[in-house]
């Protein structure tokens, strides 16, 4: 066996050198694998290898793609990786760009690790831009890439396919399309900067504020010969910033002196360490925890006596201190502060560049990694003599309010169960609460039923509930990404019938089957866009539509959603009576254990 070294692309193979078009173009031919008497496989080291090697160096577990014709250099590199038995990321093909982006979002929300997403030219970026918008709003780190042509077939030594000239080019470059929905976007114009540009993008995406980064990599760049770096560096984890000791001391003094403090949070549950810290802080000081107006995670254990969730609003007016912990939109209208008390914003990045308008009405800021900031407050409090006993009376008071709210919830659920002829939304949610395993993960994409779901679904730990942000039509992709990251936990995508229809449903079902990602999909079916009707009435309560019962943009004459999974071998049930709920949920759980997704079409009263 002969060996031909080319940096990190070295391999020990039977070599049969040839002059080829690839050689004339300056593309690195590493070696040739002898497959038979007349068949050879040439091994190249070009821009595709540079991109994949950057993913390997960064420790990426997966690459998700909706295929485009610029990606043959990466596909060739992935094939080499398999043939050469080299460790590296698993490649996942998707049938839709938004689905690919949303799967990456879901995976990263669980693991914290970004997934590279490969899309096609400008057209693929436009298709995937809804997911990018969600990622930038939710501060999800990821690297998105697509390509273009710079020579359009005019280079006689590098024949490029004609579609790039005819219809795929974007004046000014594809990065112009996604600048508003990414953290940063640029073109990589040289093979000499490609590897480090990808590394930088992966690092940049994970720096505060986290978000999606886009690279436009021309096909001509990827087809060029690449020399791997002689001294590759390990990629360090992003540092966790923290507030100054003086800031911690100042905020602790406010908390210690408050008579009726309250905590509001939207997204602290994205980080299990922050979830644990906010529980400890609330327990230590006896502070009730409620939900902001953009709640997107399971932020606090439902059984904890400090939990009030969406029922916190009546208590805000008497609060002398409100801690906004990862809470970008605590109330609405934004300037209508519900209390005369002091407002403290605790966030790594409280003033959001991705929001057109925002006012927290904050009097103080504690900026830094939230888990670290909360831990510093707790440690400083304990060092100063604060103990759980000191605030026992306040804790007991809020326990009473918590128990009262819980009793009201159970009573409302019992009342909903009393309707034996039709399924009320709360009866369905109660059935889920009682039937689903404790480690279930819910990915929710509804409008009208969202407050009920957030308040009545059961969860105790972090990463148990995720709400889709940005535009509708992304819940299925996010749920599949969550399942990819948490394969042993039951994952449920709960959609309204309207939001379900916005999703790339067929493509999601294909990804579920093709990547062995069994999930439960529940359609809360009230046969209408109820949010559209509510908005109409809000502006025209005494108008013609209300008076004549003539509505546009409201009614949905949809299919039996339970049947959509049949061509993919999936389980499906149409649930029309309350007595069917428990059995349908249990059947879906069994299907998932057998490796099959399930669709429940739950017919609701409203």
Sheet holding 90-93, edge to edge: 90-93, 62-65, 116-118, 142-146, 212-216, 184-187
Structure tokens at 382: 């304990």
pLDDT value of residue 35: 56
Say whether pLDDT at 242 is over 80.
Answer: yes
What share of the chain in percent tops pLDDT 90? Answer: 89
Span 527-533, average pLDDT: 94
- The yes-or-no verdict on residue 212 having pLDDT over 60 is yes
Go through the domains of the chain in sequence order and give each one's CATH number: 1-44 (no CATH), 46-222 (3.40.50.970), 245-393 (3.40.50.1220), 418-603 (3.40.50.970)
For the stretch 566-575, pLDDT in tens is 999 999 999 9
Determine the pLDDT at residue 293: 87
Q: Tell me how far CA of residue 105 lies from CA of 98, 115, 203, in angstroms.
A: 10, 8, 17
Residue 325 tokens, joined: 């912990």
Beta pairing, strands 11-13 & 2-4: antiparallel
Q: Which of 227, 312, 278 is nearest to 5 (CA)?
A: 227
Q: Is the pLDDT of residue 489 over 80?
A: yes
d(CA 229, CA 226): 9
Residues 6 or more apart in contact with residue 72 via CB below 8 angstroms: 48
Q: What is the mean pLDDT of residues 248-265?
A: 98
| Position 84 confidence tier, pLDDT thresholds 50, 70, 90 | very high
Helix axes 47-57, 72-83, angle to 10 degrees: 60
Cβ contacts of 542 within 8 Å, gap of 6 or more? none
> What residues pair up with 523 in beta bridges, in sequence order?
495, 601
Across 97-123, average pLDDT: 97
Contact residues for 257 (Cβ-Cβ < 8 A; gap 6+): none
pLDDT at 17: 38
Structure tokens at 363: 């009097």
Please tell me the predicted confidence (pLDDT) of residue 41.
84
Cβ neighbours of residue 153 closer than 8 Å, sequence gap 6 or more: 159, 160, 162, 164, 165
CB 106 within 8 A of CB 481: yes
Structure tokens at 468: 């889709």
Asked if pLDDT for residue 283 goes beyond 70, the answer is: yes
pLDDT of residue 388: 85
| R_g (Cα) of the chain, nearest Å | 27
Element spanning 245, H or E: helix 245-257
Among 533, 387, 482, which Cα is nearest to 106's? 482
> Residue 263 class from Cβ within 10 Å (0-12 exposed, 13-18 middle, 19+ buried)?
buried
pLDDT of 291 reads 93
Q: What are the C-alpha distances in Å from 225 to residues 42, 188, 197, 201, 573?
A: 14, 15, 16, 21, 55
Strand 28-34 relative to strand 40-45: parallel, antiparallel, unpaired? Answer: antiparallel
In three-state form (DSSP H/G/I as H, E/B as E, the rest C), the secondary structure along 422-468 is: CECHHHHHHHHHHHCCCCCEEEEECCCCHHHHHHHCCCCCCCCEEEC
Residue 61, helix vs strand vs coil: coil
Q: What is the mean pLDDT of the chain?
A: 93
pLDDT given for residue 37 in this prediction: 59
Q: How far from 30 is each of 6, 10, 54, 227, CA to CA, in Å?
A: 7, 7, 18, 11
Residue 416: pLDDT band (50, 70, 90) is very high
Higher-pLDDT residue of 442 and 11 is: 442
* pLDDT at residue 328, rounded to an integer: 95
CA distances from 598 to 401, 487, 575 (A): 38, 16, 13
pLDDT band at 40 (very low <50, low <70, confident <90, very high): confident
Confidence of residue 167 (pLDDT cuts 50, 70, 90): confident
Positive or negative, the CA dihedral 120, 108, 360, 366 is negative
For residues 260-273, give the mean pLDDT: 97
Rounded CA separation 241/208 (Å): 9
Question: pLDDT tens-digit profile of 289-329?
Answer: 999 888 999 999 999 999 999 999 999 999 999 999 999 99
pLDDT in tens, 176-209: 999 999 999 999 999 999 999 999 999 999 999 9
Is pLDDT above 90 for 34? no
Helix, strand or coil, per DSSP, at residue 568: helix
What's residue 38's pLDDT?
A: 61
**How far is 598 from 585, CA to CA, in rounded Å?**
9
For the segment 352-393, what is each residue's pLDDT rounded down to a tens digit? Answer: 999 999 999 999 999 999 999 999 999 999 999 999 899 999
Q: Residue 44: phi, psi to the nearest 5?
A: -105, 160
pLDDT for the residue numbered 413? 96
Beta carbons within 8 Å of 462's beta carbon, 6+ residues apart: 269, 270, 271, 272, 275, 276, 297, 298
* Helix orientation angle between 505-514 and 97-111, rounded to the nearest 10 degrees: 60
Average pLDDT over residues 435-452: 96
Contacts from 167-171 at CB under 8 Å and sequence distance 24+?
A: 168/121, 168/122, 168/123, 169/122, 170/121, 170/122
- Specify the length of the chain in residues: 606
Inform me whether the pLDDT recorded for 231 exceeds 90. Answer: no
Q: How far apart are CA 110 and CA 161, in angstroms?
A: 40
pLDDT at 459 over 60: yes
The residue that leads in pLDDT, 383 or 15, is 383
- Phi, psi dihedral angles at 244 (to 5 degrees): -75, 155
What's the rounded Cα separation, in Å, for the pair 383 and 12? 61
The answer on pLDDT for 11 being more than 50 is no
Question: Rounded to an integer, what distance in angstroms lies between the CA atom of residue 560 and that of residue 568?
Answer: 16
Q: Which of 5, 1, 35, 36 is nearest to 15 (CA)?
A: 1
Helix H or strand E encompassing 2: strand 2-4
């Amino acid at each position: 066996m002969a060996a031909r070294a080319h940096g990190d692309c070295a391999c020990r193979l039977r070599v049969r050198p040839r002059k080829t078009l690839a050689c004339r173009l300056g593309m690195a031919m590493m070696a040739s694998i002898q497959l038979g008497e007349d068949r050879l496989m040439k091994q190249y080291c070009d821009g595709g290898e540079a991109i994949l090697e950057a993913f390997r160096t960064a420790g990426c577990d997966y690459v998700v793609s909706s295929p485009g014709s610029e990606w043959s250099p990466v596909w060739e590199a992935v094939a080499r990786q398999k043939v050469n038995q080299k460790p590296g990321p698993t490649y996942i093909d998707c049938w839709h760009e938004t689905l690919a982006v949303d799967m990456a979002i879901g995976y990263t929300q669980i693991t914290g690790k970004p997934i590279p997403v490969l899309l096609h030219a400008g057209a693929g970026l436009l298709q995937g831009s809804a997911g990018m918008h969600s990622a930038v709003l939710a501060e999800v780190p990821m690297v998105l890439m697509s390509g273009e042509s710079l020579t359009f077939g005019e280079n006689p030594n590098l024949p490029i396919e004609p579609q790039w000239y005819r219809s795929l080019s974007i004046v000014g470059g594809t990065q112009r399309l996604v600048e508003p929905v990414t953290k940063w976007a640029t073109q990589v114009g040289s093979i000499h900067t490609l590897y480090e540009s990808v590394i930088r993008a992966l690092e940049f995406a994970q720096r505060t504020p986290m978000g999606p980064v886009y690279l436009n990599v021309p096909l001509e760049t990827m087809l060029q010969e690449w020399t791997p770096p002689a001294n590759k560096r390990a990629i360090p984890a992003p540092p966790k910033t923290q507030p100054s000791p003086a800031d911690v001391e100042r905020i602790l003094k406010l908390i210690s002196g408050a008579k009726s403090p309250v905590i509001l949070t939207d997204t602290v549950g994205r980080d299990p360490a922050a979830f644990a810290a906010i529980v400890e802080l609330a327990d230590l000081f006896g502070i009730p925890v409620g939900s902001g107006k953009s709640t997107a995670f399971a932020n606090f254990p439902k059984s904890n006596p400090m939990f009030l969730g969406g029922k916190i609003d009546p208590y805000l007016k008497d609060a002398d201190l409100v801690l906004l912990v990862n809470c970008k939109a605590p109330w609405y209208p934004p300037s209508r502060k519900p209390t005369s008390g002091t407002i403290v914003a605790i966030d790594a990045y409280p003033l959001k560049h991705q929001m057109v308008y925002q006012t927290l009405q904050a009097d103080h800021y504690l900026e830094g990694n939230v888990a670290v900031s909360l831990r510093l407050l707790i440690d400083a409090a304990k060092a100063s003599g604060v103990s759980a006993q000191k605030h026992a009376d306040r804790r007991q008071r809020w326990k009473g309010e918590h128990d009262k709210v819980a009793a009201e919830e159970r009573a409302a659920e019992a009342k909903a169960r009393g309707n034996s002829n039709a399924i009320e939304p709360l009866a369905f949610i109660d059935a889920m609460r009682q039937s689903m395993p404790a480690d279930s993960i819910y990915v929710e994409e509804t409008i009208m039923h969202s407050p009920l779901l957030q308040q009545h679904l059961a969860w105790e730990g972090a990463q148990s509930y995720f709400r889709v942000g940005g535009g509708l039509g992304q819940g299925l992709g996010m749920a599949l990404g969550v399942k990819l990251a948490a394969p042993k936990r039951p994952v449920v995508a709960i959609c309204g019938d309207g939001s379900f229809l916005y999703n790339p449903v067929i493509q999601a079902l294909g990804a579920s089957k093709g990547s062995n990602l069994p999930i439960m999909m529940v359609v809360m079916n009230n046969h209408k866009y109820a949010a559209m009707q509510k908005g109409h009435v809000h502006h025209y309560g005494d108008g013609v539509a209300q008076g004549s019962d003539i509505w546009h943009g409201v009614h949905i004459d949809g299919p039996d959603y339970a049947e959509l999974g049949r061509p993919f071998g999936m389980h499906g049930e149409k649930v029309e009576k309350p007595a069917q709920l428990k059995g349908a949920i249990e059947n879906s759980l069994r299907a998932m254990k057998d490796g099959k997704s399930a669709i429940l079409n739950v017919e609701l009263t409203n």
